Amino acid sequence: MTVRTAPSVADRIDERRAQGRGMLVGYLPVGFPDLDGSIAAAVALAESGADAIELGVPYSDPVMDGPVIQAATQASLERGFRLRDVFTAVREIRSAADVPILVMTYWNPVVQYGVERFADELAAAGGSGLITPDITPDSAQDWIPVSERSGLDRVFLAAPTSSDTRLRTIVESTRGFVYAVSTMGITGERAAMDNAARALVARLRSAGAERVCVGIGVTTAEHVREVCSYADGAIVGSALVRALADGGVQRLAELTAQLAQGAES
């Protein structure tokens, strides 16, 4: 198996920006409905229009995940998910699809595995970096130097409640893009986007952010279109996981194609 060199998330955003469109980032958990099924689903995401993939690490004590994602990750854990499955999934997906893959993980599994070991194996598998929702730049002393050495992106989250000083620290410490949380609370599908997201992106731009993607609650193609009118990309999670759970890879691919249309206009 040949694993391509990991594409840069920043370069992919810049490519989409030059094309006059935003970037669609699709989230799926590793191991749901099983390991092979999650790999097939992620490849379908890429083939159906996702510009980058966020692979979630199932965790027994999530702090941000809503009920749809919790159910999927719990099913993965019950079926025997192991952290090494992440590297298998990344390697298999990258061998089939030329998309950046960011791993979304709570920090404890990385620490338990070994930060340097985790980074080295992710880079070797073709991963592009980590999204770390439960650590801030000032609590990432173990991660930042390792990510520098390994060349992995480090995506930190910014919330509407973050101070201007905090936003500047996040912008300075992030590589890839800043993950702007559209609304306070857990992940999940929403009927409408929160106006706080637009204001947060504007504040991040003022703090020096070159690339910002918005997640939490992005559910429909119209949401994607709205987000991409003021940010560089939209991150969709719960809606895609629900599609996979309810209709398998076919329904997932159909929804991804619809969401991708929102990023084009």
Separation of first and last alpha carbons in the chain: 37
- As a three-state string, the secondary structure of 3-52 is CCCCCCHHHHHHHHHHCCCCEEEEEEECCCCCHHHHHHHHHHHHHCCCCE
Residue 54 designated active-site: yes
Q: Which of 15, 47, 51, 65 is catalytic?
A: 65
**DSSP 8-class letter at 152:** -
Q: Which neighbouring-strand residues pair with 130?
A: 103, 154
Residue 34 designated active-site: no
34 to 85, 129, 157, 227: CA distances (angstroms): 10, 23, 28, 32
Nearest to 64 by CA among 199, 169, 194, 217: 217
Q: Which of 51, 54, 153, 226 is catalytic?
A: 54
Burial class (CB in 10 A: 0-12, 13-18, 19+), 5: exposed
As given in the structure block, the two tokens for residue 8 are: 């840069």
Whether 105 contacts 131, CB under 8 Å: yes
Residue 166, SS3 per DSSP: helix
Catalytic residue IDs: 54, 65
